[in-house]
Amino acid sequence: QSALTQPASVSGSPGQSITISCTGTSSDIGGYNFVSWYKQLPGKAPKLMIFEVSNRPSGVSNRFSGSKSGNMASLIISGLQADDEADYYCSSFTNRSTLVFGTGTKVTVL
Amino acid sequence: EVQLLESGGGLVQPGESLRLSCAASGFTFSGYALSWVRQAPGKGLEWVSFVSGSGGTTYYADSVKGRFTISRDNSKNTLDLQMNSLRAEDTAIYYCAKEGYNWNYASAFDIWGQGTMVTVSS
């Protein structure tokens, strides 16, 4: 199972909105609404930001939102803040009952 | 407080075995599925294995199938990963992670441990 494809880096200025894409296939993203997004700071464990495509866990800012169209999922961060700077990973359930992560995106706040 | 604490990592030679453990607290352990996720140094996340709340259902990534075995002891609130025939490419931080919203499959992990480092090298 190949990793889902994410852009290596995305950047934006404070207050702007950015979108991180996550491209898979009909065997994963396109076939199921089990897409999640994680934020990881250096040396720390990942933190769940979005589950089931567009749901936010309790405590996650509503500046984070998710969507899906076909085989591609997206994470949108609005009102970009300095502490949004991190690595972001998508993941998806697959038709083999496994889970696949994305390649990861480094978000830089200019 | 909901917590996962991994242990058992270390330095081993190629071909050797290692057993990782994850101690859970703060939630009804048997009510939740768990997974192991790893991250090689400087690399991305890789899902490794899943076990259902009862322990009766398990899944593995192709990269570890036949070499790794996931298990849980609901009486002790512990999750294990038995790793055999270790290879250099198994070198990574290994995280245990609690499934937050799905009982049957690995889907979304709402709680993660701090990780334990496994190094496979001669």
Question: With an 8 Å Cβ cutoff, are A47 and B112 in contact?
Answer: yes
Residue of A nearest to B117 (CA): A43
Question: With an 8 Å Cβ cutoff, are B45 and A1 in contact?
Answer: no
pLDDT at B103 over 90: no
Res A30: pLDDT: 97
Question: With an 8 Å Cβ cutoff, are A99 and B107 in contact?
Answer: yes
Q: What is the mean pLDDT of residues A85-89?
A: 98
Which residues of chain A are at the B interface, by a Cβ-Cβ cutoff of 8 Å?
1, 3, 34, 36, 38, 40, 45-48, 51-52, 57, 89, 91, 93, 97-104
pLDDT digits (tens, 9 = 90+) for B37-60: 999 999 999 999 999 999 999 999
pLDDT at A72 over 80: yes
Question: With an 8 Å Cβ cutoff, are B108 and A34 in contact?
Answer: yes
Contact of B83 with B90, CB cutoff 8 Å:
yes
Res A33: pLDDT: 97
Question: With an 8 Å Cβ cutoff, are A34 and B102 in contact?
Answer: yes
pLDDT at B102 over 90: no
B68 at the A interface (CB within 8 A)? no
Mean pLDDT for all residues in chain A: 97
Nearest beta carbon to residue B61 from set A34, A47, A98: A98
Query: Across B1-122, where does the E strand assignment appear?
Result: 3-7, 10-12, 18-25, 34-39, 45-51, 58-60, 68-73, 78-83, 92-99, 109-112, 116-120
Mean pLDDT for all residues in chain B: 97
pLDDT at A1 over 80: no
User: Closest Cα of chain B to A62: distance in Å?
Assistant: 17
The confidence band for A37, taking pLDDT boundaries of 50, 70 and 90, is very high
Residue of A nearest to B105 (CA): A97
Res A75: pLDDT: 98
User: Measuring CA to CA, which residue among A75, A79, A11 is closest to residue A38?
Assistant: A75
Residue of A nearest to B115 (CA): A45
Strands B3-7, B18-25: pairing kind: antiparallel
Res A107: pLDDT: 98
